[in-house]
Structure 1
Amino acid sequence: MYSSKGEVCITLQKQEDSAKIEVKDTGIGIPKQHLPRLFERFYRVDKARSRSMGGTGLGLAIVKHIALMFKGNIYVDSEVNKGTTFTIFLPYMKTNRL
C-alpha cells in the first residue's frame, strides 16, 4: 500500500480456468496518467516520497514479470484519494492425477 494510513484487502477467487488474486487498498490512489507506466522498472509516481519511503520502483515490475512467467497477467485500477486495486490472473496448471 502506498500510504501510511488505510486498509489492505487481499482476495483469492477460483475462476473457470484461472485464479484471480485481488489486492485492494484505501490509500492515496494513483493519478490516471501514471497507470500506463506503472509496471515499468524504476518508474515511481512520486519520486521524492518514494525515496523517503525506501521505494526503488522495481516491485510492480517484478510482480508483472512473475505473472507473465506463469502465463498470467496483472491489471490496475485506481482513483486518487480513494485507493488502488491490483488484479492478477494466473491460469491453473493442468496435472494428471492417478
Structure 2
Amino acid sequence: VQGTEDGLDRIFVNLVGNAVKYTPAGGNVTVAMSRVRDGIEVQVIDDGIGIPEEALPHLFQEFYRAPNAKASDEVGTGLGLAIVKDLVERYGGRIEVQSRAGQGATFVVTLPPVDF
C-alpha cells in the first residue's frame, strides 16, 4: 500500500476512534483487513449509534456532523472524515460507508497495491 506512515495512521486512528466514540459501552468495534483484487481492503465495523440515511451524502464534507452525532455528548469538529477521505484519495484509494441510524456503521477503505 502506498502512503506515508503518518497519513495511514491518521486514516485508521480517525476511523477506529469514531467507531469507539459512537459505540456505547459494551458494544463492538471490529477491524478486518483482506486482500482484494484491486489492493487491500480495511473494514471498520461498529454497532454504535449509526448514521441516518439523509446524512450519508454529506458525511465527508468539512465541518459536517450527522444530527445524531451532534445530539450525543461526544465532541467533534466535523473535520476528521473529510481529512480521511482526502488522504485515502491522495493514496489512490476509495472510502465507502454503509449505515443506518441505530444500527452501527461500516467504513470500507480500499487502497491499491504498490508496484515494485
TM-score of the superposed pair, with normalisation by structure 1:
0.87
Looking at CA atoms only, which structure, 1 or 2, has the larger radius of gyration?
A: 1
AA aligned to 1:43 is Y
Cα distance in structure 1, aligned partners of 2:33 and 2:85: 17
Cα distance in structure 1, aligned partners of 2:38 and 2:57: 27
In the alignment, which residue of structure 2 is the partner of 1:63? 84
TM-aligned CA deviation for residue 4 of structure 1: 2.9
SS at match of 2:51: coil
Q: Deviations over 1:57-98 (max 9, x none)?
A: 011111101100011000000022211000011000101xxx
Runs of 4+ aligned structure 1 residues displaced above 3 Å come to none
Percent identical pairs in the alignment equals 42
1:37 aligns with 2:37: no
Return the structure number with greater strand share: 1
Cα distance in structure 1, aligned partners of 2:90 and 2:101: 30
Gaps of 5+ in 2: 1-18
1:4 to 24, 38, 61: 24
Cα distance in structure 1, aligned partners of 2:50 and 2:38: 30
Q: Deviations over 1:12-34 (max 9, x none)?
A: 10112310010000001111000
The CA RMSD over aligned residues, in Å, is 1.2
Cα distance in structure 2, aligned partners of 1:45 and 1:82: 14
TM-score of the superposed pair, with normalisation by structure 2:
0.75
- Superposed counterparts of 1:86-97, under 5 Å: 86-95=107-116
AA aligned to 1:70 is Y
How many residue pairs get aligned? The number is 93
In the alignment, which residue of structure 1 is the partner of 2:44? 23
Return the structure number with greater helix share: 2
1:83 aligns with 2:104: yes
